[in-house]
A and B are shown apart, each in its own frame.
Chain A
């Protein structure tokens, strides 16, 4: 078991070890769905929800089903199946209760299934040997961190709409640059707490 304090894991997964900016997981939807704050926060909220729930669910399945039966090698298949089913559920939920968000997210809602951040969090939880409470806060923190990053990016991109970007950098190139700068900024948090 890892003996890192829960608060450190929680804050660490939001800031210093932000799953998007430090591990660069979940980049595809980050790049595409970050042109408007509304869409970005909507997707962010969906990712928080999915990431939190699937991490907890996967923890339970991993430690109470797979480990006792020595079937750890099944973790990839089981994790991704749980994630896929959960995303289906969220899709139905969003379609029913927030059609506008459903249409705004479009294909990226079902694509949360293959958002690497989600599977990444489940695997990190296993590799770093978190206990249940730690996993709960890690899942929540990782989701919040991802949502924070995409919301920041969307805010910057809305502002960038008015700026004079050099022609060769327009589009994805400038977004990658900005993402890099945000990532470096977040690394500045590393001195404030340690998650090792």
Chain B
């Protein structure tokens, strides 16, 4: 007994002593004085104590850039252009960069340490990103593994989002909080709340968290993010192709369109595995009755079970697109779903003359 206590005491003593020495050393060694971060040619100048990472510096100053892994260098989302300062590209960043990106000075903010004055460049959009406190006001079970979650904004009370943008939900993870991106499914004219469609991924940190939420719970998120840009020209036809939870940005785009341009041409192609994965179909069919230029195509990729009733398309969604879509003069396409689906759909779109800047996609 004595020995055990003694051992405990000695171990604790040694550990505390070492920690104290390290703290003193850190104070003198890792002291880089005050550094400044100049964002977008001085449109924002942040002053802070050096030694931390660029990502945490930006977050502390309420500049929310995308980041999913919490600064571990494993998601590769927190890219910024570093113009001066910040040291050389680290081996931890190399896997996320193309050579063109390396040359233009793109870095992962979580890997850049602030030890000197740094000049960075961010897309203007990101400066409008805010952190929102919100409350769960409605949860609807869409399918057996898919939930629609409505979040009423508490602070700030309004959000400006473009159709197809996404929010980053703060979820408690086993190794500290993580952010996970979910597309906003509520249309852009709705400003006091956002809606998400979340599929429960077994073992997923954020989807488990969101699926465990109850009405009234508070949720923190940052947003809006994303490069989807719906054309303001009503002559431009819109093609939406989604699979699974990839419905979210499509719902946003479609309802935003028909709020502003009741006669705009728009087609929704939605891929499911089987009838039990179908959701929102009746809502969209009702919308199609109101707006003659809106067309809804759902397709099931799994072979039909004997008890399933289905009179729509079967097979993968890009086949339906290939069959039903005839090339038009001006069109934009928005794709959201698993990578193989996106690739297949992009090939089809290319044969129809839609490619490059007119195609927006989000692989997950």
Contact = CB atoms under 8 A, between A and B. Distances in A.
A78 interface: yes
A103 B92 CA distance: 11
B19 A74 contact: no
A71 B29 contact: no
B88 interface: yes
Interface string B69-100: 00000000000000000011011100000000
B30 A95 contact: yes
Interface in A57-114: 61, 65-66, 69-71, 73-74, 77-78, 81-82, 85, 88-89, 92-93, 95-96, 99, 103, 106-107
Nearest to A94: B29
A71 B10 contact: yes
B30 A74 contact: no
A81 B22 contact: no
Interface residues of B, number: 21
B87 A103 contact: yes
Interface of B, secondary structure class, is: helix
B26 interface: yes
B29 A93 contact: yes
A92 B10 contact: no
B19 A85 contact: yes
B25 interface: yes
Size range of the interface on A?
20 to 34
Interface string A3-21: 0000000000000000000
A93 to B, nearest CB: 6
Contacts of A66: 10
A95 B14 CA distance: 25
A65 B17 CA distance: 14
Given A71-B3, A99-B87, A78 B11 contact: yes
A89 B20 CA distance: 12
Interface of B: 3, 6-7, 10-11, 14-15, 18-19, 21-22, 25-26, 29-30, 87-88, 90-92, 115
